[in-house]
Each structure stands twice: as C-alpha cells, then as structure tokens.
Structure 1
Amino acid sequence: MNSIEFENIKIYEINGYTRKSLNGEFTPLELSEKLVNEWIPYYECHKCGKGDYCKYTIPHPANPLRKRDIKCGVAIDALKNFVNKTIFVLDNASRSKKQKYLDAAFHFYKYVIESEQWNGSFIDNEKLDWWGKHAVKFYSEILPIRDTLNELGNCLKEFPELYEGTSLLLVEGESEKAFVENLRSDGEISKTWQFIVESYGGKGNKLPKRIKMLLDDYQKKGYLIYIQGDEDGNGDGTGFDKFKEYVNQSYIVKQNIFQFKYDFESSIPKKLLYHVLLDFGYLENVSFEKFRRVTEDRPMNSCLLKEFNIDTNIDNLKVRIAKAVGNAIFHIDFRILDQFYETELGAFVRFLEKIK
C-alpha cells in the first residue's frame, strides 16, 4: 500500500473529546507521523516513575536530575507500529471504515500512554510520598482505562482481520456462574478459557428487556455473545426457544445458545450430585439407588424439597453445589471423561469448550 486518501474524516484532538478535519493523501509513515504530532504531548521524563531506566529519555543538558521535555517514545513507537502493522485493512475501505480505523488508533494510543504513565506512578515512591495520604487514590485512577479499551473494541470490531472479538457468556444465575468459574481453574492450575462469564439475573417479567440491554451494551463494546438458559421442562425441542426473539433480531446466533431441559441442578449426573449432598451433610441413610429412582426425569430442586426436605434456595446451597461440581469435573478422571460428555452437563461443558 503506497498511500491512502482521507476525505471528510474527523480525528480526535489531543484532549480526546473535540475533533478536527483530516483530509489528504498519506503514506503509512506520513500518517503515523501526522498522528504523533496531533496526539502525543510533550512530557518531562523525570516526572515518570520509569524515567530512571526508560531507553527513550534524553538527559537535560543543564540539570543531571532532570530529563528533556519530549514526546513519549513508548507512545510514539507503539502508535507507529500500530499504523505500520494494521493499515492494510484500509485497502479499498469506505470512509466510515477509515473513520473507525483512526478512532481505533487514537484509543490504542490513549491506552498505551495512560497505562505507561500510571504504571510509572505506581513504582515511584518519591511521588507517592509527596502526595501523602492522597496517593491512595492513584490506585483507582487507572479504572477509566477500561472505558478506553471498550472504545477500542467497539472500533476494532469493524475489522475482523484485526479482532475476532472477546467472548462473553451470559448465564441465567449465580450457580451457573460459580460452576463455570470453578470448572476453569483450581489453585495454580487453569484451563486456557479466555471468555468472560456474567449472570443476567435469572427469571422474571423484566428479563427480555434486561437481556436486550446487556446485549446492546456488550455488542457495542465488541464482545462475541454466548448465552445459557433453562427450558424449565417446557422447551419446544429447538434448543433455543427461550431466546428466539434475540435470534430473530440478530442479537445472537442459535449456535451460541445452550439450554438445560429443566435447570442446571437437574443436569448434574445423579451420582455426582448424590455424593456432593452427602459431603454437605444431607441424605443421611438414603441409598443412591433410592436417590436415583425418586429423582428420575424430574426437576431436581423441587424434587429435593419434596422428597428429602432439602431447600436449595437457602444457605446459598445452589452456589455451593455448583462450586463443588465444577471443582470435581475440573479434576475428573480422563478414563470416564467420554462417559461424562454423554450427560446433559457434559454437553454444556462441550459447549463451553467451543467458546473462542
């Protein structure tokens, strides 16, 4: 790519709020230099906690305790590399994609320079001491950077060549969330799953509106959405009937949906659930055969209450069960893994393993 023409483009000004026009034809090098000049401020490197060892600093000619006032070399090289390595996506791109690309470049640069300066503050004891009791606020000042990254994700989702999307799994309740979190790691060992898990809050009349708000918010930030729900014993056999509205409105594809026939607790293999409840001090003098027989093909939570007077809605029992089951499956014997995958909960784990 020799050069790119920009017409009627508005790039951010250095303050990150107002914009100014960008028009003309630029080579990748000319564009990166233009963005460096527009966005990166001058900064005295001795004010950065990394100034003592950063390779970009320039000594002050008149004061050995100070550094020259320069544009941050870390930010310059990062921004130039971003343009150099990614500008190929603008080959025959529309004006709107060019706008998104330059917005992405700004948010990328903003993340780099802000995180670099804040990290420098966190290791600068002299600066922290100078701020005294107010220094404790530094540790929360970094949080707005997540908004910058969300804006970056929103821009990059227009370029699948650069960003496949961060995956988000929305689950019905806290027990499903606890299960996934305890299935993905134990101690120092963890799976390579990178997706995020959030609960959309269970059942209720306001649920469709709540899910739509979540989907709108997360999709805007560039997340790839997966969702889990319960059929409560009245599914239509499609495997996604509770979420057809969202499929029809293109919020989510049906392949990214998993529904339990009844609910999470009913999907747990009987023998595993039986031993978990025994460990919790329930089911004394109840044989596994009786437990299996009276819970066969019935909603587990109502069955436990009716047959054994075990109310899973109290004492945080649902979440406790979920944690124990997740941990048990994390350590499952590989010799029975195929057998486990044939269960409903095993199918859900297969679903989780396919999340990118």
Structure 2
Amino acid sequence: MPIPLYLLGLAVFAQGTSEFMLSGLVPDIAGDLHVSIPAAGALTSAFAVGMIVGAPLMAILSLRWPRRRALLVFLTAFMLVHVIGALTSSFAVLLATRALGALANAGFLAVGLTTATGMVAPHLKGRATSVLLGGVTIACVAGVPAGALLGQLWGWRSAFWAVALVCVPAVLAIMWAVPDASPSGSAPGDAPGARRELRALRGPRLLVTLGLGALVNAATFCTFTYLAPLATTVAGVGEAWVPAVLALFGIGSFAGVTVAGRLSDARPGLVLVPGGLALLAGWLLLAATAGDPAVAVVLVLVQGTLSFGVGSTLITRALYAATEAPSLGGSFATAALNVGAALGPALGGLTIGAGLGHRSPVWMSALLVALAFALAGLAARPGTRGKAEVS
C-alpha cells in the first residue's frame, strides 16, 4: 500500500478518536455541564448528524478543489473546533462544535476514501479502505482509552486538547505527501458533474448496501456510546478499568477491519453472512449476561471485532457498487454509516431515559441487526435478488 495512504490514516486516527472518545467521557461531561447522561449522549448524535449532512455536501462543494487543498481545509477546521470545544463552558456551544467538527470530518473522510481507493488498483478497494479505517480502529485501541484516561486525570477538556494536537502532524504529513490532484483524479477544475454522479447513486444494489451499513452501525453506536455506564453500573467494573474495556473494543475493531480488508474484495460473503449472524447472537448474549463482568468483557472484544468486520465490508461493497460516482460514492457511504451513528445513540438514550436501565441499549442493538437481516432478506426475494444483492 502507498505510504500516503497510511498518512491519511493518521488524520483519520485523530478524527476517530474524537468521534468515539465520548464513550468514556459522557459521565464527566454530563456532571461538569449539568446535563443528563442521555443529553450528553446527544453529543455523539450531533456529530453523526453533521457527518450525514456534511459527507455529500462537503464532497460536492469540494469537487473542483485539488485533493490536498480539500483535505487541509477540512482537517484544519476540525482542529480549530476542538480548541473551541476544550475552552467552552456552555453545553450548547459544545454541541455546536461537535456538529461543525463533524462537517469537517465528513468532508475529509469523503475525499479521503476517494483519494485512498484512487491510489490502488481497482480490485484492491477493500485493502485501501481497511488501511484508512485502520485509523479509526487504532483510535478505539489507543486514542479512545487514552481520552478516557486523560478525562479521569485532568478532566474531559484535556481529551479535546489532545485531539487538536494530534491533528498538527497530520496536517504537515498531508502537505508533504498527498498529491495535489482533484478528488476525481483529474486535473483541478475538471471534476465530473455532481448531477451525473448523483444519478449513478440511485441504484437498488447500492441503496440496500447503504441501508444495511446504517443499521449495523446504529447497533454498534447504540451500545458503544453507553459502554462506560454499562460497564460500571451493570457489569460492576470499576471506573479505573473503563479505559481498558474501551481498549478491548478497539482491539476487536482493529482485528475486524484487518480481516475484512483481506476478504471484502473477493469473498465478502464469508464476512457478511456468518459474521452478521454471530453479531446478532453476540448482542443478544451480551444483553442477557451483562451483569457478569468476565463474560461482558469478553463479549466487548468479540462485538468490536464483528461490528467493524461486517461494517467495513459493507463500506467496501458500497464503493464497488458506486463505481460510476468516483467522487461522491465515498461520501454516501460515509453518510449512511453516520445515519446509523446518529440513530444508535438516540435510540439508546431513549431506552435509558424511559427507565429501562443501562442494559437496554444492548437489546436495541440486537433489534437493529435483526432489522438488517430483514432488509437483506427482502432485497433477496425473487425478482429483486439480481438488482440489489450486496455480495
């Protein structure tokens, strides 16, 4: 894989840390800014909503920008809003910075996916995607637990400062290593029309794949957003061990993306079918046994592996299905995943707010994966199978 691809992964690491780190900071933010835990969980949903809107919008706005310029603008904006977030004492301002940071993150990831897959041969999209998303999973392994540890030692604001600082070497790396070409790979100013690409994104196979990705990611975020209170109040894990629990989920996610990167180009069915069934079974088992700390900790690792293995494979299949939209295909995959990232925490917060306890988001995660199987089954019915298959 080309070296610039790994440098893009560094920037995605910073952004992934920001996106996921609230899982370990929600209780502290809620206490410091005097809001409820479900309200603090809305910070994750605000980020996801910004990603949903921002992915296609920023990709369209930057169609005629050189790749390097687009990546630098988005990453610099992302860094600045984290500085503001670290300084503010207003929950409303923090909520706004999460949405604005998500717009920048969405633009970066949409252009980054296009840039990454354009650096490799057409049949290696899955490998390139896994390298880029490896930045997200490493964020889960190292960045998110580190953010939780910083929050415990120096308060949640220190984690926001850390994200801003990590962006600095990523900005320098992009300036040095990323080619200054348009997102489509053509000369600046010759990017294809947005209308033509948008028409190409209406195919049933792509729409079904995006829907499945949204549901699977909703299941992931529904539980992961409230993993800290689940671990402490249900499983009985001490607060000092929360960073380790988050790290286990991250280790699993890295393993899942790595395996998916090897299989999603040529043999995606090996990940999607048995992996999806195991994912559903795992959420059900975690919901039933979350009170046992040993079982819960093991399942956190397993579910991280399965969630990201299935999820990243669906991203790859979406990119293959969007070959006629080389500049906007990545943005729609990003938007679909973040529909799930917005829906999941919102549903989990609703169940907690309804008095169903901190175990209830896990049951909701199982329901969302079951809905994904129902959608896949409907798409595979006679008369639609050839039009909407995802494998």
TM-score, scaled relative to structure 1:
0.24
Structure number, greater radius of gyration: 1
RCO higher in 1 or 2 (8 Å CA, sep ≥ 6)? 2
Query: Larger helix proportion, structure 1 or 2?
Result: 2
Query: Larger strand proportion, structure 1 or 2?
Result: 1
TM-score, scaled relative to structure 2:
0.22
